[in-house]
């Protein structure tokens, strides 16, 4: 009979597991496995696979890596799987046409730095780091026939990208059908209890559950996380689109790229990257949404937190100082005048009123037009919302090309 203490611990762990996830499939079975794991002192085996199709990991990858780390902190066994064999096939997920295959030399070159990069998030000394060529390269033709017999062509064509390409007459290579089979077999070889992935991997991860059953194993739980958009705010973060923030970027690059994202995107980044940390930042997020805090200050804090996670606090402070000096204050005259604006206690001032108070505009209408023309900046950031509210603090206000004032709002 399960003890009350075990039940409480299971629910605590389930809360951590569900945190930030878009979907958890197989939750009831996972809860039962957690009970057994605790009672038998047998950690769960938690799998996360990534193909070394490019040499650099980016912030989008760190969402699922962060969840793998949280499983590790709960006492379970994290398995970081480098898909060196599947990378040579190429994941067809989301592709409109057959992607070019990579040769073994390219794959190995890309995989070389993966462990070092993952080590910035995960304690790799206490994790299993595996390559799927370990078992896939040993499969015989008979083994492949057995594996492929576990699924039908009709079921494979239910997959959105295959179905769409087939309907539109786009070529589908037979080798592309092998990809989800091999990814599923990885879960069999590793005897995975849980697999983590992005929402775009749902078909592959669900297929793994069925293939595991075909091989006499209990089906893994599937934990899906939202895909992070790139710095453009629209497309999935991808090196091929040039919209990534790489975890090996310099602190200055990482900070500057974060500062370039939109106010809407920065809220999404906070939600998806916090990973159970950044509690103060998450609290500030609420006040930004409520209009009680400056979006610009929040973005600076977000950029600082991101740099600190991968490079440390000192590098984050230096990156912040570099950004202010090189980006925000470029072309600023040395003799910028200073003015003070006084507020009633616990109040804020709108950007249009502030421009008028400082003598930079004659009316709110003029200020509104200037904002619409991207002619107003606060600390080097363009103001896009004419209803922006500023609290107490020091600001470098720019109106037009050459009108600057250092404003102290008290």
- The predicted model gives 289-299 an average pLDDT of 88
Compute the mean pLDDT over every residue in the chain, rounded to the nearest whole number: 88
DSSP class per residue in 137-172: TT--HHHHHHHHTTS-HHHHTTSHHHHHHHHTT---
- The predicted model gives 247-259 an average pLDDT of 91
**For residue 333, what pLDDT band results from cuts at 50, 70 and 90?**
low
Q: What's the full length of the chain, in residues?
A: 410
Q: Are 261 and 268 in contact (CB under 8 A)?
A: no
Report the pLDDT value the prediction gives residue 242, as an integer from 0 to 100.
Answer: 78
Q: Are 218 and 71 in contact (CB under 8 A)?
A: no
Domains of the chain, first to last: 4-228 (3.40.50.620), 251-328 (no CATH), 337-409 (3.10.290.10)
- Other Cβ atoms less than 10 A from the Cβ of 153: the count is 10
Report the pLDDT value the prediction gives residue 174, as an integer from 0 to 100.
Answer: 78
Q: pLDDT tens digit string along 142-167?
A: 999 999 999 888 887 777 777 777 78
Report the pLDDT value the prediction gives residue 334, as an integer from 0 to 100.
Answer: 64
Q: Are 336 and 389 in contact (CB under 8 A)?
A: no
19 closest CA partner among 85, 66, 82: 66
Report the pLDDT value the prediction gives residue 61, as an integer from 0 to 100.
Answer: 94
Q: pLDDT tens digit string along 229-252?
A: 999 898 899 877 778 999 989 998
Indicate the helix (H) or strand (E) that contains 341: strand 337-341
- The predicted model gives 68-73 an average pLDDT of 96
Range with top average pLDDT, 155-159, 258-262, 360-364: 258-262
- The predicted model gives 158-178 an average pLDDT of 78
This prediction has a pTM of 0.75
Q: Are 102 and 90 in contact (CB under 8 A)?
A: yes
Side-chain-side CA neighbours of residue 11 (13 Å): 6
CA dist 372 to 131, 237, 399, Å? 53, 29, 12
3-state secondary structure of 196: strand
3-state secondary structure of 132: coil
Q: Are 301 and 333 in contact (CB under 8 A)?
A: no
């Amino acid at each position: 009979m399960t003890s009350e203490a075990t039940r409480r611990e299971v629910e605590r762990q389930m809360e951590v597991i569900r945190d930030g996830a878009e979907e958890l499939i197989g939750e009831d079975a996972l809860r039962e496995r957690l009970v057994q794991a605790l009672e038998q002192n047998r950690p769960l085996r938690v799998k996360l696979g990534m193909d070394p199709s490019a040499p650099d990991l980016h912030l989008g990858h760190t969402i699922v890596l962060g969840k793998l780390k949280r499983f590790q902190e709960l006492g379970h066994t994290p398995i970081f799987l480098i898909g060196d064999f599947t990378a040579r096939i190429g994941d067809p997920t989301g592709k409109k046409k057959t992607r070019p295959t990579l040769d073994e030399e390219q794959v190995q070159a890309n995989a070389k730095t993966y462990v070092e990069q993952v080590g910035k998030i995960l304690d790799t000394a206490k994790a299993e780091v595996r390559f799927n060529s370990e078992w896939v390269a040993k499969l015989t033709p008979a083994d492949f026939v057995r594996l492929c017999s576990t699924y039908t062509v009709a079921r494979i064509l239910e997959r959105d990208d295959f179905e769409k390409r087939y309907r539109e007459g786009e070529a589908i290579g037979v080798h592309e059908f092998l990809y989800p089979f091999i990814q599923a077999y990885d879960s069999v070889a590793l005897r995975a209890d849980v697999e983590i992935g992005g929402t775009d991997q749902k078909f592959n991860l669900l297929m793994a559950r069925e293939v595991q059953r075909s091989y006499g194993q209990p089906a893994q739980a599937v934990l899906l996380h939202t895909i992070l958009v790139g710095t453009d705010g629209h497309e999935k973060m991808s090196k091929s689109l040039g919209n990534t923030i790489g975890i090996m970027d310099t602190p200055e690059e990482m900070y500057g790229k974060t500062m370039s994202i939109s106010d809407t995107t920065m809220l999404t980044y906070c939600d998806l990257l916090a990973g159970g940390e950044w509690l103060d930042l998450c609290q500030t997020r609420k006040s930004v949404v409520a209009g009680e805090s400056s979006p610009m200050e929040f973005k600076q804090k977000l950029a600082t937190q991101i740099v600190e996670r991968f490079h440390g606090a000192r590098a984050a402070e230096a990156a912040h100082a570099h950004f202010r000096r090189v980006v925000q204050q470029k072309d600023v005259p040395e003799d910028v005048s200073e003015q003070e604006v006084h507020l009633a206690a616990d109040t804020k001032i709108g950007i249009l009123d502030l421009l008028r108070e400082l003598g930079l505009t004659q009316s709110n209408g003029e200020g509104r037009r200037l904002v619409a023309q991207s002619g107003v900046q606060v600390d080097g950031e363009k103001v896009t919302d004419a209803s922006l509210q500023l609290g107490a603090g020091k600001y470098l206000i720019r109106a037009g090309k050459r009108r600057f004032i250092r404003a102290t709002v008290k």
